[in-house]
Each structure stands twice: as structure tokens, then as C-alpha cells.
Structure 1
Amino acid sequence: MDLSYFQKLSQAKILVVGDVMLDRYWHGDTGRISPEAPVPVVKVSKLEDKAGGAANVAKNIAYLDGQVSLLGIIGNDDNGSSLQALLKSEKINSQLISQDDAPTIAKMRVISRHQQVVRLDLEETFLEAHSELLLQKLTEIVDDFDVVLFSDYNKGSLAKISEMIQVAKAAGKTVLVDPKSKQLADYRGADFITPNLNEYTAAGGIKGDEQVLADCARKIIAECGIGAMLLTRSEQGMSLITPSEKHDFAAQVLEVSDVTGAGDTVIATLAVMLGTGMPAKQAVEVANVAAGLVVAKLGAATVSPEELSAKLTQYLRETGEQYQAPTQEILHHIELARQRGEKIVFTNGCFDILHAGHVRYLAQAKARGDKLVVGLNNDASISRLKGPERPINPLDERATVIGALASVDWVIPFGAVEENDTPAKLIEQVKPDVLVKGGDYKVEEIAGADFVLANGGTVEVLEFVNGCSTSNVIKKIQSN
């Protein structure tokens, strides 16, 4: 697999069209039963809003650094305003159309002790006139995108999806559909549809053995005029079925925590990778790995390019390739993690020859928070600090090894010019909650400590493992 496509993620221009929703969560503790009825009383302590439905698909694309716009219907109400604010915070270009005669679809959940107590759905099926508005808007803006993704939750926004697909294909766009209709002919002209097994069987698909499944799927896409079917099969992974081929992809997760939103992640990842120009089979392979990551998380989660590339590096270990995201993209994902309430830890070093002391030290640093950022001296910086014979290993190789560690979330090089041999300027960009340094330093001697402390963070000094050092490793090699 060619991981160079990961350098083109931000070039993918994708329009998501479909049923947008606001997912609202009330969190609280339960300590008694209501005197009014035999139901628990939940004392709400936290309110959380999330983008749902087609908006969650768009969010997944944004987290993968794709350029994404979202087209859908909302009500002229507070829930619609909340959803618009969420989209803005997630860097999603809103093309939502407000209407007075229909409310914003909202799913209200009460959560206590990690259990859902009740869900309240506020929704009305949209009218054909609402779908006509989306069709008109799509016609106006479709030329601005490479990929058009339809996210159908059967709420009425896509009543005119046949005409919408015709518009997108006439404009030369790649079209993906996450289907809900049992009549898959409604999606005639789509390049890819991504049903799960239940949706496949509801549309007349037969499971049977692998040959029966493949033959039936091919018959469906031929009769419905669809390019290919990506069938998601839960613990059996995925199957990409075209008129002439079937490619199976094994599930990439050992322990499932929550399958919520996994289908959104699959089609979002597929859209982004196709938007970079990646061939379909490879794009599905990446989407399958993304699904494995997201189902290991709780809730409608997302994956970042760094998570995905690190997992792919393990998955494709024999290729020796590792994607290094540009600094600005990493800083963006750090900020998103901060917005989710995650604690950011920063440390830095040369890490020229990785040894057990480094691995233990980085694991200890990660334990101080939720995400670990490693500032990595570049080659010129190491030569200035250690001498002209160093580094032993160049920056790309050091970043690959460090980035593959389970404790490390992001690697950012520094030291472009001589005055930047300390990570002080990088620390000001990262804004960590915890700054960690190894050795016998005093806090006031650590570069960037004053900035972190002034911003309410903490600084910790960890002891290095005795007997473990790069210099000792080099001396041992030279003595032999």
C-alpha cells in the first residue's frame, strides 16, 4: 500500500448530503427512585452535544483532514443553532438549509453510570419539498467537490436522491451512498454503496456461502446500476464486490467496545481516500483499519490521520513506511483533543538509538495524561548538540520508530535553525497541560517550563533508567 496518499488528505474535497441530526446527552448520577413513578431520578451534572447522522459522517471526514461541506435540512430552532455551532467548531463548512415547518432532528439521551436510561427522539419526516431544496442547492455547488457522499437515514431529506445522483454523476463526481432504502435501485448511478448485512438482506440479498453472497451482490448491483458494493459484515470484516471481483478484508479489532457510528467512519474514510486518488481496493483496506480503531472506542468516535497511519504501519509492517503529518495538521488534532477534555503531555529528545530506557520513560510520560506529544530534534540540531558524527539514524527513521510506540500519539520535529535547539517555541505552539523531562534537571532549568506553568500546567522531572543511554550503546558497538 502506498502511504504517500496520506500527504494528500487535505486535498480531498467532499460534499456530504443527507439527514443531519443533533445528538444530545444528559449525564448524571442515579441515587433514588422517583416517588412519582417507578423510574430512576437522574441528577444531571453535564450536558453534551454531538453532531449526528450525516453530520457525524462529515465530522469523521474533518478529523481525517478532508475538506468537507455538509448539505442538509434543519429547523429554524435552538437545536439547529446548536448544530450549526458544532459544525463551525469541527471545521465543517455548513450548507444547511433552515426551515420553519420542520424541526431539527434531535436524539436526546439520558446517561447514568455509563448506561442509557432513556432516549427521546424529536423529529418529523421531511417533505418532498425539503428534498427539492437540497437538490437545487446541490446543483449550484456540486462543481466545487471531487466526491459526493449521500448519508441516508430514511428521514426524508434524500427523497429525491435519484435526481441528486444524476446531478453529481453528470458533473463527473465520484458518488458514495450509505443506504437505508430497501429499494437499492433508488441509488442507480452510484459508484459505491456501503450496506451492512441487515441492509443487504432487507434489500433481497442472500447470505449463504461466500460464492452465493458474491453472486447475489453482483446481481443486485447489476440490476440497480451501481458500480460496486462495500458490504460491512461485523466480526467478518468487509467485502468489496464489483462486477468481476470480490475482495475480503478481515476485521481489524480484537475487542469491541462500541459499534456506534462505525458505518459512518467506514464511508467517511473511504470517501477521503478516494478523494486523494487512492485506488478503490486500497481505500477499502484503509477504511477497514479505521473501523477497527473506532469500534475500540466508546460512543460515536472518530480517528485521526496519526492514529490511522500508526495502525497501518503495524498492519503493513513489511513496507517500512510511516506517514509523518505536517506540524500544522498535528497542532489542529492536538487542539481537537483538548476540546474533548483530554490532557496533553509533552516531552522531547533526540531518540537517536531507541533503547529500553526510552520506552519506559515515554510510557511513564504518557501515564501523566491522555495524549503524548514528542518533540524530536532534527538532524541538524542533533549534530550541533552531539557532534558531526550524530545522528546515527536520520529524522524520518527516528520518527517512524518513535511514532510506532503505543505510548506516543504525535511526533513533531524541531530545530530548524540554531536558536531552536530547545523545544521552547514548539511548546508554545502545543500548549501542553503537562511538560515532562527526563534527568536531574531543576524545573526552572527546563526549556518551556515557564510558559507551561504560566498557563496553568505542570512540569515533572522523571528519572532515566540507570545504565540505559544512546552513548553507551554506541560505545558498546564501537568496542566490538
Structure 2
Amino acid sequence: MKLVVVGDSLLDVDIEGTVSRLCPDAPAPVLDVTAEHPRPGGAALAATMAARDGVDVLLVSAVSEDATGERLRSLVEVPAMFGRVDSVPVKTRLRCDGTSLARVDRGGSGRPQVTDDMLDAVLSADFVLASDYGRGLLSDERLRSVLARVPVVWDPHPRGPAPVPGARLVTPNLAEATKFSDTSDPDEAARVLLDRWQARAVVVTMGGDGAVLHCGGTPVAVPAPEVLAADPCGAGDRFAVSAAVELAGGAAYDEAIAEAVAAAAEFLENGGISGLRAPLPSTVDAVRKRGGTVVATGGCFDVLHPGHVRMLAAARALGDCLVVCLNSDQSVRRLKGEGRPVNHQDERIEVLRALESVDDVVVFGEETPSAVLGRLRPDVWVKGGDYTAELLPETEVVRRWGGRTVVVPYHRGHSTTEILSRRA
């Protein structure tokens, strides 16, 4: 079964820290940052959930061609087809002890572009989940025309358009259903929206109170198991993904909704969105569990040369595993200019992983690897001797968890730029 998740993708960032004092000029907490955790949000989150369930999934969305868009691309774990948008929405939460102190939203401008290839991908799906976050992709008339011709579960948003007529299932939460129907009674809201949207079924989700399903007859109430959860973020996506997968597999509506309610409760019980952070390389987990030393280094590694090989070998000798933080293609282009990289990202990953000194590779799209370091939390951060440790922005980042920065010898006469200039 091929599931296509189509909709607005976001970049979610959790900035975690400790609070021990208030601002001197206002009764506001001061967050001492200890870690930063970026992750895909919106439709990209839904696609990630489906993939981790073992579903064959394709993400169809839009991202910007800037550092933020590249950062989001680097976090997406599933095959994807992207149109363009001026800027990706970024939602940043400031958190302490599992509680959000504030959220900062930025970006999200421009009308998303829908390409012919994106339309073809949606048409080729066995089943579709439309994940609307009110950013405009699902308002595109060509896309809506295609969505009306495929089996679709529609997860709506208050700022988004109405679902396409004939949707197999629409999944508003109670607040959304109240806005769309002008009634706060979940049974009545489901009945009104079923008729208004010309859907085959509407389910109104109510968090800990379960869900109400309306397919045209008597509404069906589905209770939810009792779960203590401080952060419900992502539970709606978990519900919609599970419902879509169950319906695609031939389940009856009441069976699909019961499974979706249970899946959302299990998601929250297992830590919610925090449990879905991008996994660390398995080597890092294994080394850390046995008390070993995790070493990381970073760079473009465009045209691998002896200087690279010697530096990587020296870095690996400092610990029990070496993870290379690799600049993405667009990140290299911004740093080095047009015409770079010479070797594309997948090729550079393959070559690095073939080296005996390299245990794993992670890709980042920003100017510096600070964000990915916050996720890896290496014990040692290594750079070549053409850098000064105190001038590296990563040095202060690594110090937050007690890590250290080490400079290994620089081998003059070996650089990608010099090699390319000799070949010109």
C-alpha cells in the first residue's frame, strides 16, 4: 500500500534548558539553554510517523530554498517531492522540565508552488492523507481537483480550506469542529460537517474524552484510555495517520477510529512528540551505553583527499566512534559558491562511510553544525588545525554538556579548493 501525505510542512524546534532565576527587568524566567532539538512538523511529521510504522510513504509538500528549508529537508526521513514556497514556517518552543514556557513563530510567507510531478504523485497513491496546516498548499485548485479523485483522509485546519467533497474521512478536533460548524456539541458538529463537507464520514476528536464518529446514521462514541500527558503536541497527526492507514487496509470506520484513538493515547504515553525526535545513529547509542567516548567532526568533504583521510583517522583515534557532520549540498553551495559541491550529498556520504575511520554520517543544512551537535552531544568535537578552537562557534555549544573541542594537525597542500584550481 502506497500512502501519500500531502500538505504543509513546518520546522519545529524545541529549545530546552533550565530556569533558576527571573529577568531583572520583568517577571519572566531566564532559560539557560542546554539543548536544541529540531524536527519535521506538519505534513512532514505525519509522513515520518507513517514511515516509522512501516508504511510505504511519500511526502508531497513545499519548502523554501534557503537555510531553513534545507534544514527541514535534512530532517525528513522519507522519500519526498517538494514544490517551492518563499519561506518555511518555523515554530520554536522554549521548554523546561517538559513544560513549554513560550513559543515563537516565524516564516510561512508566500503561496506554495504545486508542480505537475506533485499532482502525478498524488494520483498514483493507493491512499492519501491531506495534512492541512493552513499555509495554502491544499487551497491550490489543481491539487484539489486531483484530491477529489483519490481516497483521502483530510486532517483540517481552521485557516485552511474545506475538505474536497467525497473525502473518506475528515478528522477535526473539537475546537476546529466548533469553528467550522458553529456548535460546540460534538455530535451535532459531526452531523453538520458531514453534510456541509459532503464527506463519507467525520470524526470529532476530543483528547482524553475520545472521539465521536458520524457516518450518516447514529453517531458512534469511541472512548479514550486514561493517559497523563503534559504535552499533546502531535497527537492529532498520530490519530490522522493511524486512521488513514487502517482505512487503507480495509478496516470499517468504527474499527479504524478505535485504532486511531488507541494509537494517539499510546503516542502520548510514550512521551509524545519528544519521543519522535530524529534518532541518533545506532553506533552512538551503543558507544554511549557502554560508557565510551563519542567523537564528531564536520565539514563539506567535497573532493576527498589525503588531508581529509589523515584528519578523520586522527579524530577517530580520540574515542570509540566517529560521526561526521556533513554539510548538505545547498549548505556547501552557500559556503563555497556556484559549481560546488563537485560531488553530491549521497556520493559524499557513500565515500565517507566506506572509510574505516568513519562510523556514521549525519547531514545538516545550516551554516554551522551547532543544531545537529545539540542532538548528538559528542564528548569530543574535532576540527583540522587550520581552525582555532576558541574561534569556532561550535566550541561554546559543545561546552554546554561538558564536551571539549580538539584541533588535530593540518596538512598543508591538501585542500579541495587547491585541487580544483590545479585542474582548472
Please state which band the TM-score falls in when normalised by the shorter chain. Answer: 0.5 to 0.7
CA distance in 2, matches of 1:17, 1:287: 19
**Residues 165, 175 of structure 1: 8 Å contact kept:** no
Task: Show the counterpart of 1:94.
Answer: 80
What runs of 5+ residues in structure 1 fail to find an aligned partner? 1-11, 304-334, 347-367, 369-480
Q: When the two structures are superposed, what TM-score results if normalisation uses the length of structure 1? A: 0.54
Q: When the two structures are superposed, what TM-score results if normalisation uses the length of structure 2? A: 0.61
Task: Show the counterpart of 1:119.
Answer: 103
User: 1:248-277: CA deviations, max 9, x gaps?
Assistant: 211123433431111100001111222223
Letter in 2 for 1:151: S
Task: Show the counterpart of 2:155.
Answer: 178
Seen in structure 2, the aligned counterparts of structure 1 residues 340 and 106 have a Cα distance that, compared at 3 Å, is farther
The 5 Å alignment of 1:400-415 reads none
SS at match of 1:103: coil
Task: Show the counterpart of 2:124.
Answer: 144
Letter in 1 for 2:79: N
1:249 aligns with one of 222, 229, 242: 222
Task: Give the root-mean-square deviation of aligned CA atoms.
Answer: 3.4
SS at match of 1:284: helix
SS at match of 2:46: helix
2:63 aligns with one of 74, 78, 85: 74
SS at match of 1:49: strand
CA distance in 1, matches of 2:131, 2:217: 26
Letter in 2 for 1:157: L
2:164 aligns with one of 187, 211, 219: 187
Seen in structure 2, the aligned counterparts of structure 1 residues 302 and 205 have a Cα distance that, compared at 3 Å, is farther
2:267 aligns with one of 287, 294, 300: 294
Q: Which has the higher helix share?
A: 1
Larger Rg: 1
**Residues 14, 66 of structure 1: 8 Å contact kept:** yes
Seen in structure 2, the aligned counterparts of structure 1 residues 153 and 141 have a Cα distance that, compared at 3 Å, is same
CA distance in 2, matches of 1:29, 1:154: 33
SS at match of 1:251: coil
**Residues 235, 272 of structure 2: 8 Å contact kept:** no
Seen in structure 2, the aligned counterparts of structure 1 residues 202 and 343 have a Cα distance that, compared at 3 Å, is farther
Give how far 1:139 is off. Answer: 1.9
Residue 52 (1) aligns with residue 52 (2): no
Residue 268 (1) aligns with residue 248 (2): no
Residue 234 (1) aligns with residue 207 (2): yes
CA distance in 2, matches of 1:229, 1:97: 30
CA distance in 2, matches of 1:343, 1:237: 39
Seen in structure 2, the aligned counterparts of structure 1 residues 116 and 166 have a Cα distance that, compared at 3 Å, is same
What runs of 5+ residues in structure 2 fail to find an aligned partner? 291-424
User: 1:310-365: CA deviations, max 9, x gaps?
Assistant: xxxxxxxxxxxxxxxxxxxxxxxxx9587698789x9xxxxxxxxxxxxxxxxxxx
The 5 Å alignment of 1:48-447 reads 48-87=37-76, 90=77, 92-99=78-85, 102-127=86-111, 130=112, 133-134=113-114, 136-160=116-140, 163-170=142-149, 173-181=150-158, 185-208=162-185, 213-214=186-187, 217-300=190-273, 336=279
Seen in structure 2, the aligned counterparts of structure 1 residues 143 and 124 have a Cα distance that, compared at 3 Å, is closer
Aligned residue pair count: 292
Letter in 2 for 1:195: P
**Residues 82, 118 of structure 2: 8 Å contact kept:** no
CA distance in 2, matches of 1:21, 1:37: 31
